[in-house]
Structure formats: structure tokens, C-alpha cells
Structure 1
């Protein structure tokens, strides 16, 4: 048997019935996760249930994420240093495209591949935290919906490696944004980690969009040169 306090039940009921988007879903999730009793996945449906997602809510979520960024200084220095260093492969590619006047296809693919590895890494973190907080030793505490935020990035990473460069860049960028949304606004992570995730994701997504821009505008000079060379040989 499982037991949820009356306060949690009331907050869950309000979340489901008021027809509005609640800002306390993360707090509710933390409250439920800290319960000493195992809770089946079906009882956790109220954590992420929302009637709709409005523009006003998107603005509030963005403001909340930006506020979390102010807590970065509270995090361990080694984590902050490693996190900052992990951005180098992201920012290097658009810088090379800008300096070289073209966007080599191999550069863009390397950025997509690195983004895919980062997404898989973030999915692994989410998977481990989910199992740990929800009592992984008890089968009825885990369901597919709970695992979706952890497995989804892995699938998106694999698909991005199969897509053409523009679509691949959009896929990994969108997946990073989705993971940041879940991790920053709907996860029981420390505030400093949420702020770090918001900042690092912003840098990564901007870098990916710059690479996409350079890929579409500047093109691949080496590829164009090879095409012209083959065309001349045919004539």
C-alpha cells in the first residue's frame, strides 16, 4: 500500500482541476518524491499534467529559468569549470566557419555528433536520478511516461546522425531546449545545477543556430570546388 499526505492530495487535485498551468509542479514533484512510501507511476500523473500551454506561461517559465541562472555561483567550482569547457566544441565550429568564410560539412557533422553525445549524457543523468528518487527497486514506481524524458534524448541523438545537416542541427538544438525545459523547471535538481543547465544550453543552442546559418549562407566551399572540378572534367 502507498500513502500520500492530504496536503499533497489537495495540491494535486488543484493542479488537475483548476484548468490553469500551475507554477508549483516542481515543488509538488519534490514533495511526492520525498514520500517514504513507494508510489505507483499512475499516482504521479498529477505532477506533469497540464490543460494547455499559453504564451504567458512560456514567458513565466523563461523568467523562472533566467532567475535560476543567478544561482550558478553556488555550485562546485570543478563542475562549473568542466561545464564551461564542454562548450568549446560548440562555439569552435561557428567560429571556424566565420573565420574560414565557409562551413565545411565535416565541421557541422562534428558539432551534431558532439551534441548527440551531450544529449545522451543528459539522458543518462535523468535516467539515474529517476531510478534513484522514485525507488527503482520497486517496479510499480516506474512507468514509461516517467522514463520518457530520459530515453527521448537518446532517440533524438540517434536520429540526428541520420538526418541531413540542416535538419540534424535543428533536431539536436530542439532536443537540448526540451531537456533544459524539463531539467530546469520540472526536476528536483539543485538550484545551481538548474542555472548551469540554462546557461550552458543557451550557449550550445546559439552555437548550433549560428552553424546552421553559416551552413545555409556560406555553404561548403570544398564541396562547391569539387563540384566545379567534376563539371569541368565532364566538359
Structure 2
């Protein structure tokens, strides 16, 4: 029994120090003079059981607190770059008022032309070409924005070969679309592809713009592309009619 009690008192040095505290009826001189090993023989058995259980309880609480400190919460995943609806769309309210108003005003030529032709149920080649030419200008403008974004000092987009060369690609698509002026289907599809490539560059590939501008760019590009698709559907569905008086007179003379 004495050996078992002696084994229970084999605790760390800090716990052993707690056992050296003076007990009721013990003087400080006795506690300092008597060695710790001899205290076991002096204390009654009831006090030995009480001190041993208290030491084990303190040791267990000390051990459990160390385990709690080691537990760490798993790190939260970083937001994805292309999760536009969740991370970028709420930032649209923080956009610059001139950029917001001018951006939506720039959709008027895109939306008005297919709307006019759908109401009259006729396809005007002059208006179709005007919309395609305006879309080509917008595609070239989107490429020029990248140059202006990369040239200032301290910009996250550096004026390197990748940024400046990719900003030229939309202008090439705009030039290619104007070459197909006699074929509105190919010209319109070329402009739509140029808009998509410019949006992909701005959102994912190259160093991106502020969040509010990315949200604005996505909305404007989607509306412009849908307007061009509506125009191409009207060209295939409705009969063609010329706007110019000279063209109509020449057709009548024939």
C-alpha cells in the first residue's frame, strides 16, 4: 500500500511543489526541515489519499488545457476569382456614378436597333451594319482600357508583353468584323467573340480591375452580346428593307 501511494506522488516537479505547502497543524519550520520523502511516513493515511487525489486531478486539468490549446480551426477557403455573382455583384453599388451612367447609356445603340426592327418586323441592313460597327468600336475601346490600366506607376497590371499584347487582340477582332461588312452574321459573331475574349481577360487571365468595375463590365458585356444575338436572329427571320431613298429608287427602276 505504501508503494502504491509513493507511485501516485511521482508527478512533475510543479505538482510536487504543491505537496510541500504547509498543512493545518504544521509549522513552517517543520515543512522546510522535513524532506519530502519523509513526509509520506508522517502524514496520516486519510491525508495521503486526499493529497494524492488532488494532485492527480490537477495534473489531469493541466493536461487537458494543453490539448485545448493545440486545437485550431480549419482555415476558411479563399473566394474564387470567377464567382462573380457572389463576390463582385454586391460591389456594383460602390461604382463611380459617371462610369455607371455612361456605361448604361452606351447600351442604347445596342438595344434600340433590334428593338426597332422587332417592332416593325423588318430587317434594315444599314442599322445592322451600324450596330456591328458600334460593337467593333466598343471592343477596341475595351482593349484600350487595358493600356490605360497598365501604364500608371503602382498599377497591379504591369506594362509587359502579356498585358499590352492581349489588349491588342480585341482591336484585331474589331478590325476583322468590319471586313465582313457584306455578311452580317459573320461580322456580328466576330464582335460577340471579341466581347467575350475581352471580358475573359479582365475577369480571369490578367490582373483584374476593381470589383465594382468587373461587375459593371460583366453586365454591359452580357447586354451587348444579347442585343447582337437578337439582331442576327431578326436578320434571319424578317425580310430585308433598305432605308436609303437612292437604294429604293434603284430597286424600283430595275
Q: What TM-score comes out, normalization by structure 2 length?
A: 0.59
CA separation in 2, counterparts of 1:180 and 1:69? 15
| Cα displacement string for residues 144-200 of structure 1 (whole angstroms, at most 9, x for unaligned residues) | x33232100111111111112110100101111111122123433110000000001
1:152 to 169, 187, 191: 169
Going from structure 1 to structure 2, the CA distance change for 1:169 and 1:135 (only over 3 Å counts) comes to: closer
RMSD of the alignment, in Å?
A: 2.7
CA separation in 2, counterparts of 1:219 and 1:127? 42
User: Could you tell me which residue of structure 1 aligns to residue 55 of structure 2?
Assistant: none
Q: Which has the higher Rg, Structure 1 or Structure 2?
A: 2
1:170 to 189, 192, 206: 189
1:202 to 193, 200, 222: 222
- Over 6 Å off, 4+ runs: 23-26
1:211-230 mapped onto 2 (5 Å cutoff): 211-222=231-242
State yes or no: 1:70 paired with 2:70.
no
Work out whether residues 124 and 150 of structure 1, in 8 Å CA contact, stay in contact via their aligned partners in 2. Answer: yes
Which of structures 1 and 2 has the larger relative contact order (alpha carbons within 8 angstroms, sep 6+)?
1
State the number of aligned residues: 168
| Cα displacement string for residues 24-45 of structure 1 (whole angstroms, at most 9, x for unaligned residues) | 896xxxxxxxxxxxxxxxxxxx
> Unaligned 5+ residue runs, structure 1?
1-22, 27-60, 137-141
Q: What TM-score comes out, normalization by structure 1 length?
A: 0.64
Work out whether residues 69 and 199 of structure 1, in 8 Å CA contact, stay in contact via their aligned partners in 2. Answer: no
> Unaligned 5+ residue runs, structure 2?
1-77
CA separation in 2, counterparts of 1:222 and 1:124? 34
2:129 to 109, 130, 133: 109
User: Could you tell me which residue of structure 2 aligns to residue 32 of structure 1?
Assistant: none
